[in-house]
Each structure stands twice: as C-alpha cells, then as structure tokens.
C-alpha cells in the first residue's frame, strides 16, 4: 500500500485528488494543510472519516511544521500555496513570503525524507506575457518560455513563486534521484473551489442580484477544466513511469470568451437580465488556452466533463451554499475597479 501525502489537501484541487485516490484502496492517504480557507468542513470531514484519511493541521511556511509529518512517504503531492488575484494585488508580500517558504521548506524536507515520487502543482499564470508580448501560439504547449511582463506588478507574484517552485523541485529531484513531475493547471473549476476565482465571483454576483451583470474582460479567452478531470490528470502525471523531470498541462483545450462563460453561468442560474462589458483585472492576458497533446499522448489524459455539465454542478453547489446562509471564509468578490493594485507600486 502506497503511503501518500497531499500537502495542501484541504484545498479545492487537493480535496478532489484525495477523493480520486480514496476510491482506490491501494493508498494510505494523509492530507496536510493550514486550513487558512476555513476549518475542516463537512464534505472533507466525511471523506476523511469514510476512508480513514489522516489529517495534519499546520502552517507549512514554517519549517518546524514538517516535524509533524511521517519520516517516509512514497508519493508526495505539493499543492499548498496562496492563490487568488485579489490576494496577489492586495497582499503581494504575503504571497511571496508564504509560497516561497512552503517551497523552500518542502524541498529541504524532501532531501531528508526521500519519497519515491514528488509532484509540484504549478500554473498557467507562468505564461503571463508569453502570448501577449511575444505572440507565441495559442493553444500554448509546455515548451514555450515562461514569462512575466513586469516583476514590479503585484499581479504576478503568484506566477513568480510558481516558476521558482518548478525550478526548485526539478533541481532537488535531479540531485537526489527522486522522480519529479510538474503539472501546470489551466483554470480548474468546480464545486467547493472557494471564492477567489472567476466562476464563483460570477455566481456570487448573479445570486446577489447584480443586474446588469458586469462581464470583466468580456473578449478575453480561457479554457476551463472540471475538477474531477483535473484530479485524474494529476494522478496520471505523478504515477506515469515516463513523467520524471517532465511538465504537463492539466486542463481542457476548449477555448471560450469570458462573455460566453458568464452567459453560460447566467443561463444555469435562470438569470434573464442583461450583460454589460466591464474593465478586466490588472495584468490579465488577452488569450490563454493550453495545448494538452503531450498529456494525452504520454498519460492517456482525456477531459470528460463538458462545460455545460461542469457549470451546472458548480452552480448547484454554490446556490446551496448561499441558500443555507453560509458565510464566505475569505477571498470573496471584489471588483477590479475597487482594487488598489498600485498601492506601493507607483512607478508601474
């Protein structure tokens, strides 16, 4: 039985990977998280109780927290990080501090514990200026250079830490002889994804009666991947014998505009009002869509959930959340016109 550690396992993607792995009894699972997004919720507790999954609560930006882990795991998923456009813009120093601390501390812990395999979760944000500044092809494949437009801009602090993480884990893995893989997530969405991303922002605004609905960056394009597909792709990447020192896009290659996405959510919610174009978030690129050919060929990865079905499941979950009178723990919607993204960055 493989002993598996999911660092950041209480988060959205971590929860879905835990659920995917728990269906197979060949794993002894442990999730480790600081629960900064809120306390252990009913869904995660039920999943852990049913499958006898270990839970470790600690701040892994602190080196001392790693003393709470077992000395040996076979597989380690490194998912923990601070994420969210609002957080990057308003607290870029905390994004840098927390994410770099997690990366550095985890890499040194891996040096001592020497697991068989490690997977680091990276992001499509690493291509922040690749397409807009240098006109690389979209859909974008894993071989194009990673690029940040302006390191002074707080919007890119998350991407900077993800680029650091890729380099760090590849370097440690190669030095220590540990099978190491990186996945770059491409807009993974679904129920229980928090309130830091575009889809829950849109749902929240429509639920609360916004009319007309503002479409931020209406003509920008993205490709959205449902959480269960993202979880399966992640596990396939870590467990593939050919994935050592490789990068894979985990996402969907169906490129749509933000206007199309917003209207799809509105339709699923029964919204019959109007829509109006609005300014985008600072630093957002005009197009983003992954080429997932490599993951399909190497891993047998194939997204299965359609956008309509994924949006329906996601809307149903958030509607139930609001109907129950539950409170948003952190990271709720804040429109770009109210974000003080130039605070401390007057020369941008």
Most confident of 31-35, 38-42, 342-346: 31-35
pLDDT band at 345, cuts 50/70/90? very low
pLDDT band at 283, cuts 50/70/90? low
pLDDT band at 294, cuts 50/70/90? very high
Most confident of 38-42, 128-132, 261-265: 261-265
Q: Considering only 35-44, 217-226, 228-237, 330-339, which range has the smallest mean pLDDT?
A: 330-339
- Counting other chains too, the contacts that 145-154 makes at CB distance below 8 Å and 24 or more residues apart are 149/283, 150/348, 152/345, 152/347, 152/348, 153/282, 153/283, 153/341, 153/345, 153/348, 154/88, 154/89, 154/90, 154/92, 154/341, 154/344, 154/345
Give the separation between CA 131 and CA 97, rounded to whole angstroms. Answer: 28
CB-based contact 221:186 (threshold 8 Å): no
- CATH assignment, 2-186+226-251+290-304: 3.40.50.720
pTM summary value: 0.93
pLDDT for 343? 47
pLDDT for 346? 38
Higher pLDDT: 198 or 341? It is 198
Q: CB count, 10 Å around CB of 52?
A: 9
The string of pLDDT tens digits covering residues 73-91 is 999 999 999 987 778 888 9
pLDDT band at 330, cuts 50/70/90? low
Give the separation between CA 210 and CA 273, rounded to whole angstroms. Answer: 9
């Amino acid at each position: 039985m493989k002993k598996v550690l999911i660092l950041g396992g209480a988060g959205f993607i971590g929860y879905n990977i835990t659920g995917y792995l728990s269906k197979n009894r060949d794993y002894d699972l442990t999730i480790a998280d600081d629960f900064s997004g809120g306390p252990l919720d009913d869904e995660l507790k039920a999943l852990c109780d049913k499958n006898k999954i270990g839970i470790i609560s600690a701040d892994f930006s602190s080196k001392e927290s790693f003393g709470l882990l077992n000395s040996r795991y076979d597989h380690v998923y490194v998912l923990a990080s601070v994420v969210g456009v609002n957080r990057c813009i308003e607290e870029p120093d905390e994004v840098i501090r927390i994410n770099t601390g997690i990366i550095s501390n985890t890499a040194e812990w891996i040096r001592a514990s020497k697991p068989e395999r490690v997977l680091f979760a990276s992001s499509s944000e690493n291509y922040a200026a690749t397409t807009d500044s240098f006109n690389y092809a979209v859909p974008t494949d894993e071989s194009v250079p990673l690029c940040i437009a302006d390191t002074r801009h707080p919007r890119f602090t998350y991407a900077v830490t993800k680029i650091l993480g890729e380099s760090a884990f590849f370097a440690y893995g190669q030095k220590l002889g540990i099978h190491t893989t990186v996945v770059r997530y491409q807009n993974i969405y679904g129920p229980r994804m928090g309130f830091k991303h575009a889809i829950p922002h849109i749902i929240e605004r429509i639920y609360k009666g916004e009319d007309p609905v503002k479409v931020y960056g209406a003509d920008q394009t993205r490709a959205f991947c449902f959480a269960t597909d993202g979880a399966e792709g992640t596990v396939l990447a870590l467990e593939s014998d050919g994935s050592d020192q490789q990068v894979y896009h985990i996402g969907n290659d169906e490129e749509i505009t933000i206007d199309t996405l917003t209207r799809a959510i509105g339709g699923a919610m029964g919204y019959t009002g109007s829509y109006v174009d609005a300014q985008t978030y600072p630093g957002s690129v005009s197009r983003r869509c992954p080429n997932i050919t490599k993951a399909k060929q190497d891993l047998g990865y194939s997204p299965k959930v359609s956008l309509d079905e994924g949006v329906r499941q996601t809307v149903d979950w958030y509607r139930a959340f609001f109907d129950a009178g539950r409170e948003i723990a952190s990271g709720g919607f804040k429109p770009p016109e109210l974000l003080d993204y130039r605070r401390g960055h007057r020369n941008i």
